[in-house]
Structure 1
Amino acid sequence: MAVSWYAVLALAATALGATIGPTEKQILEKSACGRVWVTVHSPEIRLAASVTLLDAVELNWDFNGCFSTPTQIGLFDDRPQSWNNALAVFRVTSVEGHVITNMSLGAGTLPAGWATGAGTKGPQCLWPWVAAGDNNEIRAFNCLKIQPTWMEDAGPKINNLRIGDLAIAGTHNAGAWKFDTEVSSVSRDSFVLCQDRSIWGQLVHGIRYFDFRIAYYDFYDKEEDRYWLNHNLIRVRPLVPLLREIRAFLDVTREVVFLDAHHFPVGFYQPDGAPIRSVHTGLLQIVQRELGPHLALANQFGTGIGTRGPTLQTLINANKRLLFSYVDNSIVSQNPWLWPILPHLWANTNSPTELFQYLDRAIASSPSPSARSPLFSAMAQTTPTVLDILFLRGSLRDNADAVNRNVTARLATRWRTQANIISTDFFLGNDVVDLSIMISVERASRL
């Protein structure tokens, strides 16, 4: 990481949003130089012939630019006070790196009341904590967090930013997190599921952009049951319950959410490519019914071609905090409340090297002066080939593990000034949420 910072995240804030001087118990992240953070290993780890470790906790560090580097890093199950309380300690022999522990995150139950509804505002810690230092002193610590109200928490600092100037954590194929069909409830597979947290869970962790792939199946009796979230041609989950999770979250927070109808793989088009307008109309009616009170209409809040969109404050003042983008321009032209297609920076490669070469160029040259949308999304994941799938070479979890650490590093450095939305698979394997918050605050400080 080319820059270093002193990071302190405080839970307490006044009703006006001013930070109260945090007590030691309220500090979740601290470092005089460099940084440590916790992630979750996306692939399974085989420990023995019939024993696997799921969701192993990873400890990460970056002390580039610091006068000295800690000599050890440790895993804790509470705020680090002493090395005597560490669950495991590892030697640090490089200025940046990571270690995969032999301890699982476990259920990852959302803390502070957020498991079933609105909980305590502000960042909150799950059980894994990380600390780094030497034998006598802990110099840096952090925890695996949820960030359910990060926009409101940082509101006094970031609300004057336009939406195109935010840094936003997003999820690719956001609805593909667990099968919910008549024949399957599988939660782990190789080439369909891209996430492992529900839409509600993603929101509570701090994700604010959702890439939805919506399909239509006319063999269901009820109209609303015909709309599904797919991964390409594979049905994963019905759409309406996921929209209701978004609605429930918006009802109890002041956050702004970006929903992107990115692809319609089944049922929306004739064989010649012509849109089936009744199917599109049915989807729009469902979205308006389920999310209507929160919809920020493009014909009210849009700011024109080549601009960066409304400020957060504008959306919050109007209490319209859901922007719905639509990939089909012909449908957008007939429904001006829809936000136009946003550019998706997609490398279409299964090579991490080619992915980052592409994204480095694409992010540096974005946004386009002629873009109709104020937003753009870097699709920071690799894409398996047909042969990968046919011959079961690797998995989406392996692919995510091969890129997520570099996504964190790139966002902290090369992409820091230009990136808007960063969409990833298995987002707990990177630190995009916390970095996006830091970067948004940085950008706002320059206004």
Structure 2
Amino acid sequence: MNKILLLLMLQLQLLVAPLSANCPIYLTISLTGKSLHDTCLEINWGPDCFAPPEWIGIYREDPSVSSLAPEVHLAGIQNRTGKRLTPFKLGKLHFPGGWQREEAEHSSSVTSYSKGKCLNYYVASYNGTELLTIDCLKIQPNWMAHLKEAAQLPLKQLFLPGTHASGTYVDTYSKTKSSDVQNYLVAQHFDVWSQLVFGIRYLDLSVGAKVYRNKNTDKRKSDADQFWIVNEHQFVNPLIGVLRDVRRFVELSKEVVVLDFSSFPLGFYKHPDVYSSLFQLIRQELGDVAYKRNVSSNEHCADRSYEDLRLAGGHVLLLFPTQELPHPDNESALLCTPWQRFSTSYMNISQTLDYMRLLFRKKKDSPVQDDGWIFLARMSFEHAYNTRRKFQPAKERAELVNPKVNLWLTGPWGFNANVVAMDFFSNTNLIDLAINVNAHKAYLASTKNFTNIEIPVR
């Protein structure tokens, strides 16, 4: 028997064990509650839980080193895949290791976490008193840097967890009295800084311009105040805060973030000067940390690896439709050609499954082949209204779509994923899934040059 081959197979089995455990258990943040503080935690199990545990508990401390009783006790699990909303509220989160935004703004160093850092919310499964599995709600601000072999792979081959309408959040719901803003414009629980600290590496930005002239000075509003994040054709948050969060995060983490300027629905039409003003703002805020592509070779940024970007000192990959910019801005080395985008906006669950089958199998008839691509797992407000004849809030749409897509990606399709972006990503384990898939890809990359040597057994 080939002992070397057997050893490699054993290592591979150990590596992918988290993806195929008998009954994986994990925590997510539900989409209940008017504010994030009031939102409850959810217990999730599966997929394909072949041997359900007798009971599951949620703890404030690591139950493997603590004798505290569980805050929540859940028994009687019979389904092979499922989730259960608990009454355990999230409360106010504090990121350790200097990753709290207020601390990071005035700090020159933060703690690097090779395997993430738990936030004092643990979930464990048991048979009687026997501890079977343990997991936690965690931040993962450095996960890319610790996938050594994956750092050599082109970005188009990595699974990058992302968010759709990334800048549409509300810092304090009590300051926002409009139910329309809370229900239909907000698409994320967390601000961009927090998304990145949790492990998100792709941000989708739809930008609008509040272009007007001051009657007294006849000068345009400053660029920093002019550009806003837009959702459903409404202004939500200033863009400048998002850009500065991205810059500060990559300066401290040295991770790669893909920043996709995907659409410009307000204030840009037939105004190339507005596009130029936006580009100047982006260059001002991110020029020092953005990747500069090789313009002369017409380089595709998706072909570059994390290591390429790190060595070049460019940790932000800017996707921007350069055809909208006048010359010479449209030839800037800071801007990369947009990747292919595929959305489930106007699909029901059955159609979404069929569409994912077409995309993620990468067969000859698939529009996805050998380039960077983005899968937007979302349902539009318009489609939700047309099919249900009611105003369905964004959280309800994400509650319907996200768990299904997350489940389907835990199978073979996940290994063909590039960017997967969601509204309210926090009700899934998208980031853990992406990390596990990338670890598997890194392992395969590290062993592809091994030679099988037949060693006879005596």
TM-score band, normalised by the shorter chain? 0.7 to 0.9
Q: CA deviation at 1:353?
A: 2.6
| Equivalent of residue 404 in structure 2, options 403, 406, 427 | 406
Residue 358 of structure 1: aligned partner? 355
- Is 2:38 the partner of 1:54? yes
Deviations 1:21-45 (A, max 9, x none): xxxxxxxx99964421110111339
Separation in 2, partners of 1:302, 1:74: 56
Mapped partners of 1:76, 1:419: distance in 2? 33
Residue 84 of structure 1 and its aligned partner are, at CA, apart by 5.9
TM-superposed deviation, 1:391: 6.6
Q: Distance in 2 between matches of 1:367 and 1:144?
A: 39
Helix, strand or coil: the match of 2:266?
A: coil
Equivalences for residues 276-355 of structure 1 within 5 A = 276-299=271-294, 304=299, 308-327=302-321, 329-331=323-325, 334-337=330-333, 338-349=335-346, 351-355=348-352
Matches within 5 A, 1:102-251: 102-115=87-100, 116=102, 117=104, 119-122=110-113, 123-154=116-147, 156-178=148-170, 184=176, 189-219=182-212, 221-251=221-251
Q: CA deviation at 1:428?
A: 0.8
Whether the aligned pair in 1 keeps the contact of 2:250 and 2:315 (CA below 8 Å) is yes
**1:350-403 Cα deviation digits (max 9, x unpaired):** 523322322232233389999899421110111122772997532110111112
- May I ask how many residue pairs the two structures share in their alignment? 411
SS in structure 2 of the partner of residue 164 of structure 1: helix
Q: Which runs of 5+ in 2 are unaligned?
A: 1-11, 213-219, 446-458
Separation of aligned partners in 2, 1:371 and 1:363: 8
Between the aligned partners of 1:249 and 1:367, the Cα distance in structure 2 is 39
Contact 1:341 1:373 survives alignment (8 Å): no
Aligned-partner Cα distance in 1 for 2:384–2:21: 48
Closer/same/farther in 2, CA of residues 134 and 31 from structure 1, 3 Å limit: farther
| Contact residue 32 and residue 139 of structure 1 kept, 8 A | no
- Residues 74-102 of structure 1 show CA distances to partners (whole Å, capped at 9, x for unaligned) of 11111123786211111221222211101
Q: Tell me the distance in 1 between the aligned counterparts of 2:370 and 2:244.
A: 25
Name the aligned partner's letter for residue 75 of structure 1: I
Q: 1:434 to 1:301 in 2, by over 3 A?
A: farther
Alpha-carbon distance between aligned partners in 1 of 2:435 and 2:392, rounded to the nearest angstrom: 32
Q: In structure 1, what is the Cα distance between the partners aligned to 2:352 and 2:435?
A: 24
**Cα-Cα RMSD:** 3.4
The answer to which of 140-149 and 329-338 deviates more is 329-338
Counterpart check, 1:86 vs 2:80: no
Q: Could you list the per-position Cα deviations for residues 298-319 of structure 1 after superposition, in whole angstroms to 9, with x for gaps in the alignment?
A: 33698756x9511211111111
How many angstroms apart in 2 are the aligned matches of 1:280 and 1:367?
Answer: 37
**Structure 1 residues 303 and 137 mapped into 2: Cα distance closer, same or farther (>3 Å)?**
farther
Match of 1:393 among 388, 391, 394: 391
Structure 1's 110 and 186: CA in aligned 2 closer, same or farther, altered over 3 A? Answer: farther
Distance in 2 (CA, whole Å) between partners of 1:420 and 1:63 is 21
Give TM-score scaled by structure 1 length. Answer: 0.83
Q: Report the Cα distance in structure 2 between the residues aligned to 1:335 and 1:366, rounded to whole angstroms.
A: 34
Distance 1:224 1:52 in 2: 28
Contact 1:212 1:262 in 2 (8 A): yes
More helix by share: 2
Q: Is the 8 A contact 2:19 2:410 kept in 1?
A: no
Match of 1:22 in 2: none
List per-residue Cα deviations over 1:188-228 (Å, max 9, x = no partner): 71111000111111110001100000111113632321111
CA radius of gyration, larger in? 2
